[in-house]
Structure 1
């Protein structure tokens, strides 16, 4: 019998495949986010905060795009943090902190990031907390630095078409799940519960998130843009859209 060894890169790949089934245009949004980083950075070594970065999908792509990049990944989930630590190299610092508290800022190794990037991660925050978080993010960006948040953000001018697009995407995704082409979100977590390294961490995650991370609030992109302006950013607007999802960017 082959001895058990936790394989971080394999779990990273598994996570990416699961996410791609849910977000088929995931790589497009990542490219748009990194394009924004390049646009505000004049040197080949940007300093990037991968906020609520999970397994490190954004950090890995940033390091491929910018080989001299320095990234900080911040998250609270012990499962995804374990995968990130087993996958990322010395160019990345991994930090555990809870975005529900403004104290997350004190855990960072830097306060002058060129970019803060976050994807599909902040929709569980209440409106008032997300507004406060945007203001907090501004304080850790250098002047001229950029925040990009990609998430489900409907165009409030297309409510019916947006719903039809979402229904179409759901049907395609469910067909892939039924055919066994890829693991669903819930099936991925069930699979993680069978891994000797991840199983106790999944239990810890369940305890951490049971009370405070169960909200699903999805305002339109216009709310994000206005809230970013209210938080003091000099510019705010959309840099990418795909059906119901969008990426908003804001410049300090």
Structure 2
């Protein structure tokens, strides 16, 4: 029988972070700004919904910064949830739920009905326009009055295309160099997960449910997914939030905050 230790779970958490940082070298900065916003709006002991939590990267940073906080981590991915549950084993501040955010009844799987903050990062870009619009409305209903929603994701500002292109070219060049030096990409990381005796079962369920990340994406029509920061801000206001603004950005990503 294979026994996975706390150190093993930490190793998986770290390897996930390194793989994500290869795509987003300023990832920690967006987490810092996100945690600032949670503390500023919801105080030092908030109840937080970590939406599409993955391995629990946001909760990990939030709880180190705000040890009096509590988080509910929700995701659909069995493999990433397995890592998150292992990483937070024994931490009573963290609860988990497995749910499909596009299902109409997904909130019924949550242990609590109201939150001070909802946070998410690099996840909602997988949703098409109308499911994402509906989700924003649902999140407005989950937040207490004065609560905050924070979404850090791939969002683009089309107002300065030459600046954006120059910064994107630099990032691409840097990634290619790091790849030659051994950096793991998305497919490589999932190959390691699938080869691990503890994670192979959850990985197989993940592949059946969401597709195999080791396979190239099919060529075809582009999905209907919003990419403009302005769309997110306007839609949050339309779906019941009182205020919405961008609080951080890079050449390719932004962090938007919306107040209930």
Question: Shared topology, TM-score over 0.5?
Answer: yes
- Contact conserved, 1:110 with 1:140, CA < 8 A, in 2? no
Find out whether 1:142 has 2:144 as its counterpart.
Answer: yes
Give the aligned CA root-mean-square deviation in angstroms: 1.8
Q: CA deviation at 1:90?
A: 1.6
- Where structure 2 has 5 or more consecutive residues not aligned to the other structure, the ranges are none
The equivalent residue for 1:245 is 253
For the residues of structure 2 that align with 1:20 and 1:216, how far apart are their CA atoms? 26
Find out whether 1:174 has 2:162 as its counterpart.
Answer: no
- Contact conserved, 1:152 with 1:218, CA < 8 A, in 2? no
Find out whether 1:223 has 2:231 as its counterpart.
Answer: yes
Find out whether 1:5 has 2:3 as its counterpart.
Answer: yes
| Deviations 1:23-42 (CA, angstroms, capped at 9, x unpaired) | 10001100111111111124
For the residues of structure 2 that align with 1:171 and 1:206, how far apart are their CA atoms? 31
- Where structure 1 has 5 or more consecutive residues not aligned to the other structure, the ranges are none
The equivalent residue for 2:200 is 199
For the residues of structure 1 that align with 2:242 and 2:186, how far apart are their CA atoms? 37
Q: 1:242 to 1:183 in 2, by over 3 A?
A: same
Of the structure 1 ranges 65-74 and 6-15, higher mean CA displacement relative to structure 2 is found in 6-15
The equivalent residue for 1:50 is 50
| Deviations 1:15-71 (CA, angstroms, capped at 9, x unpaired) | 1111111110001100111111111124x3110100000000000111011111110
The equivalent residue for 1:80 is 80
For the residues of structure 2 that align with 1:226 and 1:164, how far apart are their CA atoms? 28
Residue aligned with 2:135, SS: helix
Equivalent residues, number: 247
For the residues of structure 2 that align with 1:114 and 1:102, how far apart are their CA atoms? 22
The equivalent residue for 1:162 is 164
| Deviations 1:62-99 (CA, angstroms, capped at 9, x unpaired) | 10111111100000101100000001122100110001
Residue aligned with 2:95, SS: strand
The equivalent residue for 1:65 is 65
Q: Report the TM-score, using the length of structure 1 for normalisation.
A: 0.93
Find out whether 1:233 has 2:235 as its counterpart.
Answer: no
Of the structure 1 ranges 6-15 and 57-66, higher mean CA displacement relative to structure 2 is found in 6-15
Q: CA deviation at 1:14?
A: 0.8
For the residues of structure 2 that align with 1:83 and 1:54, how far apart are their CA atoms? 8
For the residues of structure 1 that align with 2:50 and 2:81, how far apart are their CA atoms? 12
- Contact conserved, 1:225 with 1:236, CA < 8 A, in 2? yes
Find out whether 1:110 has 2:112 as its counterpart.
Answer: yes
